[in-house]
Chains A and B, each alone.
Chain A
């Protein structure tokens, strides 16, 4: 009997969805025109976006916006919110001038017992205001980040998104990039768990390419192991560094 229970448990483990963790910053709209108003609403979370399964996002270590080369600290103005039934944050940010605003979040290290490691996802997204896309390729200089080679907004579904994976400012050859869809309204289902999180690898220059099959928000997470450890229960544990960027693809309007 014990053997059967153990066997079922093992099967349950094997059958568990390949859920990927994602830091998330989702704007109300990545392209704000003057008829949309004078601000953008942001929702921050830590979750499994395809399954819409939330996790607790503790107050981040840092949250900022960069516009025209200037970075402003927004950590103090984040509002507590429930996102996917878990702790998250919202922010309504005024867009005073045209240009690209890059919102970036450094979360607290998240201890993941199942992976026996900490997770730190440096997460960002780009919002353009009032028809001016200047700054769309801005590199923030984060510990790790995906620097866009495709404009990270204004993409049609089916377009490719390209970016360079960087760690400590240098491209990461053959970096592994996980890709996942924010399944908030589409009702998408995966024929196989392997299709919940897709994976592409960068080339020798750290450049990766992905073509989104449908409109919506897509998250790209380039994962690397940090060159430092963090203590947990008296033991040094590895730290997974994620460079996450959220990009929205728009529905094609032609016939």
Chain B
């Protein structure tokens, strides 16, 4: 299956739970808001760290979850575990972020993702 890559314009990359659905389905599903208690995934970045935050639309933090970090070519870089407060700090120098990053969070029953574009990194690192 062809996998989209992150370009100058935000391009979603398909994660394991989403890959099967294909790009068309993914684009039509963005954001994945259909399920009750939607999982909201957000990642902010500065020059040192990607801070991942995951919580449900009810406001409750996701206490458990697998965090998959992929690069802009959809290559899995690392898999980590979400902290019990629903956050995870990923040192920026621990991953190849030159093509951007896709942060997927999978709690088992819900998953969602956030795309960190190269522009995000440049913009926030420069500020």
Given contacts A97-B44, A131-B31, A131-B40, contact A34 B115 (CB under 8 A): yes
Instruction: Determine whether the beta carbon of B59 is less than 8 Å from that of A134.
Output: yes
Q: How far is the CB of B119 from chain A (nearest CB, A)?
A: 8
Which residue of B42, B112, B120 has the most chain A CB atoms within 10 A of its CB atom? B42
Instruction: Determine whether the beta carbon of B57 is less than 8 Å from that of A130.
Output: no
Q: Which one of B30, B33, B40 contacts A98 once the chains associate, using CB atoms below 8 Å? A: B40
Given contacts A34-B10, A35-B10, A38-B120, contact A132 B30 (CB under 8 A): no
Given contacts A35-B12, A38-B120, contact A130 B44 (CB under 8 A): no
A interface with B by C-beta (< 8 Å): 33-35, 37-38, 96-98, 130-134
Closest residue on chain A to residue B12 by CB atoms:
A35
- C-alpha spacing A220/B81, complex, angstroms: 46
Closest residue on chain A to residue B53 by CB atoms:
A98
B residues 72-127 in Cβ contact with A at 8 Å = 112, 114-115, 120, 123
Instruction: Determine whether the beta carbon of B44 is less than 8 Å from that of A34.
Output: no
Instruction: Determine whether the beta carbon of A133 is less than 8 Å from that of B57.
Output: yes
- C-alpha spacing A130/B116, complex, angstroms: 13
Q: Which one of B33, B59, B115, B120 contacts A131 once the chains associate, using CB atoms below 8 Å? A: B33
Contact with A along B47-64 (1 / 0, CB 8 A): 000000000010100000
- C-alpha spacing A37/B8, complex, angstroms: 11
Measured between beta carbons, the chain A residues less than 8 angstroms from B120 are: 38
Instruction: Determine whether the beta carbon of B40 is less than 8 Å from that of A132.
Output: yes
Q: How far is the CB of A36 from chain B (nearest CB, A)?
A: 8
Instruction: Determine whether the beta carbon of A33 is less than 8 Å from that of B30.
Output: yes
Q: A98-B40, A134-B57 are in contact. List 18 more A-B contacts (CB 8 A).
A: A33-B30, A35-B12, A35-B30, A37-B10, A38-B120, A38-B123, A97-B42, A98-B42, A130-B31, A130-B114, A131-B32, A131-B33, A131-B40, A131-B57, A132-B40, A132-B42, A132-B57, A133-B57
Instruction: Determine whether the beta carbon of B112 is less than 8 Å from that of A131.
Output: yes
- C-alpha spacing A33/B120, complex, angstroms: 15
Q: How far is the CB of A176 from chain B (nearest CB, A)?
A: 35
- C-alpha spacing A33/B33, complex, angstroms: 11
Q: Which one of A34, A96, A134 contacts B31 once the chains associate, using CB atoms below 8 Å? A: A34
- C-alpha spacing A196/B44, complex, angstroms: 45
Q: How far is the CB of B48 from chain A (nearest CB, A)?
A: 17
Measured between beta carbons, the chain B residues less than 8 angstroms from A33 are: 30-31
Q: How far is the CB of A135 from chain B (nearest CB, A)?
A: 10
